[in-house]
Amino acid sequence: MKKPPKTILTDQDPWMKEAISKDLPSTKHSFCIWHITFKFSSWFNAILRDKYSKWCSDFYELYKLETCEEFEHQWPKVVAKYNLQSNKHVKGLYEIRNYWALAYLRDHFFGGMTTTGRSESINAFIKRFINSHTSLSDFTKQVDVAIDDIKQKEDHDIMLEKCKRINLKLMSPLQEQAHGVLTRFAFQKFQEEFERSTQYSIHHENGNEFVLRYYKDANSRKHMVFWDGKIATCSCKYFEFWGILCRHILSIFLHKDCHEIPSNYLPSRWRLQTSHDDDEVDPQQVNVVFEEQVDVVHCPPPSKTKGRPKRRRLKGGKELSHNMNTCGLCKDEYVGNVACGMILQSLEKKADVGIGM
């Protein structure tokens, strides 16, 4: 990589945590929430018994909180509710809250990923092409086959995008713009948020600041949105975490008659065609780097086997002479175009009797 990644997602490994914090200090490290909750049954099932399912539900609500202040305020209440103040696993979860609670991760772009399921799916995909008996050389060939398979599917999806259009459920300039710019996956996520943007009403408005609330529930969570015509932010930080505008900002766009999404809210990561910027790598530069890497990597030295060294049998004089030929009559050998004695005698007799003259 030219530079360290902005975020990284791993399972709960203390040695990985220490290595990333040491070698990638500017990278935001997150733990897979699935690996954490997977241990809950062995940690809390025997202690809580019939309250175990309720604890999991309350923990999930803590996990989804939007701000760090809310998390710090709600955590001791939930822990006291189940009398888990002295539980070592609960204490351990609180100590690493910066690595799994969304309230501490929403400011960083993770593409919406909270688990390592994508890497696990890649492992399962690669296993379709290899097995435990695959050698290292065959492994690299099979990986190329797997990449070609992915590339064919990508080309097929691109062809479908060009041949047919996604049916827009709501005709809007914002949707039309997003549909023409975003990939199929990104546009589907955008469309989900856009459809729900009409379900929010403005509870309070003060200049460029807006307070939104779900229209059916007067006690629902309030969302604070800022929009001055150029910059848009929301307290849910969906865009910062996903890279896609949230329903709350889109609701304000509709309210303020905004008919065009600013280009900075359509990240190049989710675009069908990305512009050339400083982060892109020149293909010629890649080739140069690749050649340099090839020069560095050498074949390992041949191993010396035990016993007598294998040598080829020494060839004799006849075997070494490549121009040696054999006569069809006397089976004698001659070199080049020099004929044997029997052929010469036969030619002399024919000349005496006048045959062939």
Q: Hey, how many other C-beta atoms are within 10 angstroms of the C-beta on 187? A: 22
Q: Give the confidence band of 297 by pLDDT, cuts at 50, 70, 90.
A: very low
Q: What is the DSSP string of 271-327?
A: BSSPPP-TTS--HHHHHHHHHHHHHH--PPPPPPPSSSPP-PPPP-HHHH-TTEEE-
pLDDT tens, residue by residue, 150-194: 788 878 877 776 666 555 555 788 988 998 888 888 998 999 999
Q: How far is CA 202 from CA 92, 224, 259, in A?
A: 40, 10, 19
User: Can you read off the two tokens belonging to residue 276?
Assistant: 């050339």
Nearest CA to 173 out of 259, 245, 258 is that of 259
Lowest mean pLDDT of 47-61, 213-227, 231-245, 295-309, name the range.
295-309
Dihedral sign, Cα of residue 100, residue 102, residue 108, residue 111: positive
pLDDT at 48 exceeding the cut of 80? yes
| Residue 143 confidence class, pLDDT cut points 50, 70, 90 | confident
Q: Is the pTM of this model over 0.75?
A: no
Say yes or no to pLDDT of 95 above 70. yes
Q: How far apart are CA 225 and CA 2, in angstroms?
A: 35
Q: What is the overall mean pLDDT for the chain?
A: 79
Sign of CA dihedral 228, 231, 237, 242: positive
